[in-house]
Structure 1
Amino acid sequence: MNKPWARRAVGAAIALAVGVALTACGSSGGTGGAAVSGDGEYTGPDVDITFWHGWTGGAAPTIVPKLIEKFNSEHPNITVKSVPQEWGDIAAKMPLAIKAGKGPDVAVLHGDDLATYAAQKLLLSADDIVKGLDYDAEDFPQGVFDKGNYGGTQYAVPWSVTPLGLYVNKEVLAKAGITDIPTDKAGYLAALDALKGAGVQGEWVDGYVFTGTFEFQSLIWQFGGDLYNDDVTEAAFNSDAGVKALTWMTDLVANGYSPANVAQDGNIKALIGGQTAFNWNGVWQTTNTAFNDLDWAAAPVPQIGTEKAVWSSSTHWVFPANKGQDANKTAAAAVFVKWMNDNSLGWAETGELPAANTVREDPSLLQKWPNLAPFMDELEYAHYETVSPGIGEANAQITLGLNEALTGQKDPKAALDETADKVNQILKSNQAKYGG
């Protein structure tokens, strides 16, 4: 359900009730609360709000300041101060800063970080903010809004989505006499065989997060499996579906379609260098300047399994529960979030898809960035990050297991079973640490 187009207008006359129920949880465990209401223009006292984010490369360092400058010019009683830093630095600094009451008023987190912050009571409930801004799950791609929900409480508002896709070097593909990009298992295997006959290893598969892990996750969902059980208390990736997914990847090496021991980023470099035809990689590569002199195309990842599925990451707006958090600042931050989402068309230039449906469906987006079309099509069947506190440590083990299989140290079943044992211990430890 799309909301009326007028919701996107800057400074719209329609009042947006920003009901913010604040429960600021400090390190001492004390709580304090205040109820604040505002509208799209924010009628409270003048406030300065700090915004932490990890966009320090690509087009983002240009786009973010321009958006903030425009917002500040249109909201004289709100001054947003951007604090860009590396994502790793945010992970290290922000929890401690929030507990000390020195964290930002608004920040952006990746989907797989949300539950960890929420479980530690580092985020304000966003239920009333979401309601006040007239948001619901249908305003965003299917499945992504719920990634901000932990323990029945909404803690986040989606900002962007970044699905995996198939990148194609058309010149290399032409060496095998192929003009059509394959879309299914039969077509993909036929293309790999034809490329092999032309002396080309068609897809270089790696055992690293970028992007072997993302390929494995896409494949396990395509074969009807999942990474974890429903309540994320046990690993599920060592199922028949998981074995099929990893066997597909190891067979790429065994059958000569891929070299062994592909280095981190070796596959995308091989695609750009004309050594391979296919690379499963994220939408962010559409902004790779190394593609400028390349005859290339992007397409949805082929359907290897029985279902259409593809991995996607996501980023979300959150409202930190700083000790002594100013309710007016949180209300102003909510206005900022709504304005940023409504004005996020240009965010596509960074290689990320705006999460707001009304913005992403603006025809001018694909007119300006036509290479995003296949990634937009995939959102109907995209799968997003697992929501569970501490899940990052478990996911890291999956990557290690994939690497062992892809480097020939273990067969797929053994690698996944041994990894599942390690992951189950981590999940048990997370239950004790975070509860839930």
Structure 2
Amino acid sequence: MKMKTLLSAALLLVMSLGSTSALAATEITLFRFFGGCSDEYANVTDLSKAVGECGIIQVLTNKFNAENKDGILVKTQSVEWGVYYDRLSANVAARTPPDIAVMHRSVLPNYQVRNLLEPLGKDFAAVGIDTADFVPVAREAVTAKGEIWALPFDVHALLWHVNADLFIKAGLVDDKGQPKMPTSPAELMEHAATMKARTGKPYFAIPSGADPMPSWQYLTWVWQQGGNLVDADRKAQLESKESKEALRLLGSLYAAGHANPRHDYAGAQQAFLAGEAAVLVNGTWGVDTYAAQAKEPNVALKNYVVRDMPTLYGKDAVWSDNHTWVLPKQSKPDPAKRKAALTFLKFLYDNNLQWARTGHLPVRASVLASAEMRALPHRAEYTRTATIATALPPIEFQRGIMDVLVNELNSTWLVHKDLEVALANAQRAVSAILRRSRHR
């Protein structure tokens, strides 16, 4: 009986210690998009086995959970991209925000101006996140009113994905045999005509239906002229000479058959991979995918290279955005959870090179300049993108503004709406959106 009593006491002690340990663990919630792959990467902590955005962020989270010494458990809530911000806003409104959330630079002002995010500058200094190592475009992305509001995670931007074999066939190569990029609108049209005449293929594959890709290319050309979509007083500039010129050039490419207006996102990619277009306009996120597919025996694309956005006007610029991590304000702040969240952000900061394996550019200057970064496939071909990346000023409702651009600009090649009419319509709609922003 005494032995049974001792065993029972020992069992109770073990259970008590286990309960205490469980209570000591700090659990935090992470809201993100990037797709769902928790089953595929369940318990995987080897980062060399992670592929793509979803795989890399999932394995990073697994690795942190398995290896951190502070008893922190990050629980991921993966939300489908199309409804992500609606879900996040609903949680914030219900006073049940996650501890950490991914957020685009273009969306950050919507939350920052409403005082829904925690300022992070002092906390970053305390945990060893060196904001001085952020590349300028990344630091600018997360700064407002002299404060840091998020951890920048990447710079993602437009690139020109190039079929070098078609450039060689067209004779559009330099003295080193490399694809020759145009340096002016006139030269672009000349190159496109040469490509079509000598190869029978169009110069461009651009997602052109209900896709924002053409609007991002249009914005790039507006900025390269020194123009902007919005002036310093938050007034729309859709009918400026720079805006008209950018849309004129884009429309001319479609009108001359140098881009197919019927391509959607998948169609443009397939045309490029099938060797049916010389340049695919798409982002940093496609680099590893296209590089891998170019190695497949049944894929026509073989000689794949990447190029920074060519400068056709007087100023270097390319459309960009950033993925960032924010700490939403909590209705009942918990210092332990906040400390745990900052510990996880430091881990992500330390692993910025791993995230750059997605094709996105790192936000740390030291990582961008590293030999490890340049050793990744094709990265040395477009590191300059991080220095020319450009974005809209920090204004609210940018998603609404982009919706207007997509609807009006795309209509000029889809249903042949007059350029002046499309830009006048866009000017009115964007002006109404900006008035809402100015009145806050």
Fold similarity call, TM over 0.5: yes
CA shift digits 1:293-323 (9 cap, x unpaired): 3221111122111111111120111001121
Helix, strand or coil at the partner of 2:161 = strand
- Residue 190 of structure 2 aligns with an amino acid whose one-letter code is A
**Which residue, 401, 416, 422 being the options, matches 1:415?**
422
The question of whether the paired residues in 2 share the 8 Å contact of 1:203 and 1:257 is answered with yes
Offset of residue 403 of structure 1:
0.7
Offset of residue 253 of structure 1:
1.9
Matched, 1:163 2:157: yes
The question of whether the paired residues in 2 share the 8 Å contact of 1:223 and 1:244 is answered with no
Identity across aligned pairs (percent)? 25
The question of whether the paired residues in 2 share the 8 Å contact of 1:202 and 1:257 is answered with yes
User: Unmatched 5+ residue regions in structure 1?
Assistant: 1-44
Matched, 1:56 2:35: yes
* Corresponding residue number in structure 1 for 2:19: none
Distance verdict in 2 for CA 1:99–1:309, change over 3 Å? same
* Corresponding residue number in structure 2 for 1:222: 224
- Residue 226 of structure 2 aligns with an amino acid whose one-letter code is G
**Which residue, 81, 86, 94 being the options, matches 2:88?**
94
Q: TM-score, normalised by structure 2?
A: 0.81
The question of whether the paired residues in 2 share the 8 Å contact of 1:287 and 1:351 is answered with yes
Offset of residue 137 of structure 1:
5.3
* Corresponding residue number in structure 1 for 2:191: 191
Helix, strand or coil at the partner of 1:143 = helix
Helix, strand or coil at the partner of 2:216 = helix
The question of whether the paired residues in 1 share the 8 Å contact of 2:253 and 2:259 is answered with yes
Matched, 1:211 2:213: yes
Helix, strand or coil at the partner of 1:297 = strand
Q: TM-score, normalised by structure 1?
A: 0.82
Equivalent-residue separation in structure 2 for 1:238 and 1:181 (angstroms): 34
Matched, 1:181 2:189: no
**Which residue, 59, 69, 79 being the options, matches 2:62?**
69
Helix, strand or coil at the partner of 1:402 = helix
Structure 1 range deviating more: 150-159 or 244-253: 150-159
Equivalent-residue separation in structure 2 for 1:282 and 1:189 (angstroms): 22
Equivalent-residue separation in structure 2 for 1:169 and 1:242 (angstroms): 29
Distance verdict in 2 for CA 1:84–1:292, change over 3 Å? farther
The question of whether the paired residues in 1 share the 8 Å contact of 2:195 and 2:201 is answered with yes
Equivalent-residue separation in structure 2 for 1:327 and 1:258 (angstroms): 55
RMSD: 2.3
* Corresponding residue number in structure 1 for 2:45: none
Instruction: Map 1:74-89; keep pairs closer than 5 Å.
Output: 74-89=68-83
Distance verdict in 2 for CA 1:120–1:88, change over 3 Å? farther
Equivalent-residue separation in structure 2 for 1:164 and 1:364 (angstroms): 23
Instruction: Map 1:330-345; keep pairs closer than 5 Å.
Output: 330-345=338-353
Distance verdict in 2 for CA 1:212–1:69, change over 3 Å? same
Equivalent-residue separation in structure 2 for 1:159 and 1:59 (angstroms): 15
- Residue 215 of structure 2 aligns with an amino acid whose one-letter code is T
Helix, strand or coil at the partner of 1:376 = coil
Equivalent-residue separation in structure 2 for 1:263 and 1:82 (angstroms): 31
The question of whether the paired residues in 2 share the 8 Å contact of 1:167 and 1:278 is answered with yes
The question of whether the paired residues in 2 share the 8 Å contact of 1:237 and 1:420 is answered with yes
Equivalent-residue separation in structure 2 for 1:87 and 1:151 (angstroms): 29
Distance verdict in 2 for CA 1:172–1:85, change over 3 Å? same
Offset of residue 326 of structure 1:
1.0
* Corresponding residue number in structure 1 for 2:294: 291
Equivalent-residue separation in structure 2 for 1:224 and 1:80 (angstroms): 44
Matched, 1:302 2:310: yes
Helix, strand or coil at the partner of 1:94 = helix
CA shift digits 1:103-157 (9 cap, x unpaired): 2111111111111112333211223223434556542222222222345543112
Work out the number of aligned pairs and report it.
Answer: 387
Equivalent-residue separation in structure 2 for 1:246 and 1:207 (angstroms): 16
* Corresponding residue number in structure 2 for 1:107: 101
Distance verdict in 2 for CA 1:54–1:121, change over 3 Å? same
The question of whether the paired residues in 2 share the 8 Å contact of 1:201 and 1:258 is answered with yes
CA shift digits 1:82-108 (9 cap, x unpaired): 222223333122223234342211111
Distance verdict in 2 for CA 1:236–1:134, change over 3 Å? farther
Instruction: Map 1:345-424; keep pairs closer than 5 Å.
Output: 345-367=353-375, 369-407=376-414, 409-424=416-431
CA shift digits 1:152-199 (9 cap, x unpaired): 543112111112111111233333233332332265333212112122
**Which residue, 115, 122, 125 being the options, matches 1:121?**
115
The question of whether the paired residues in 1 share the 8 Å contact of 2:211 and 2:264 is answered with no
The question of whether the paired residues in 2 share the 8 Å contact of 1:182 and 1:302 is answered with no
The question of whether the paired residues in 2 share the 8 Å contact of 1:192 and 1:202 is answered with yes
Helix, strand or coil at the partner of 2:281 = strand
Helix, strand or coil at the partner of 2:35 = coil
Matched, 1:274 2:275: yes
Distance verdict in 2 for CA 1:248–1:207, change over 3 Å? farther
CA shift digits 1:26-59 (9 cap, x unpaired): xxxxxxxxxxxxxxxxxxx642111111121662
Equivalent-residue separation in structure 1 for 2:255 and 2:54 (angstroms): 43
Helix, strand or coil at the partner of 1:420 = helix
* Corresponding residue number in structure 1 for 2:138: 144
Larger radius of gyration: 2
The question of whether the paired residues in 1 share the 8 Å contact of 2:316 and 2:388 is answered with yes
The question of whether the paired residues in 2 share the 8 Å contact of 1:118 and 1:155 is answered with yes
User: Unmatched 5+ residue regions in structure 2?
Assistant: 1-23, 37-50
Equivalent-residue separation in structure 2 for 1:244 and 1:127 (angstroms): 41
Structure 1 range deviating more: 378-387 or 242-251: 378-387
* Corresponding residue number in structure 1 for 2:3: none
Distance verdict in 2 for CA 1:425–1:53, change over 3 Å? same
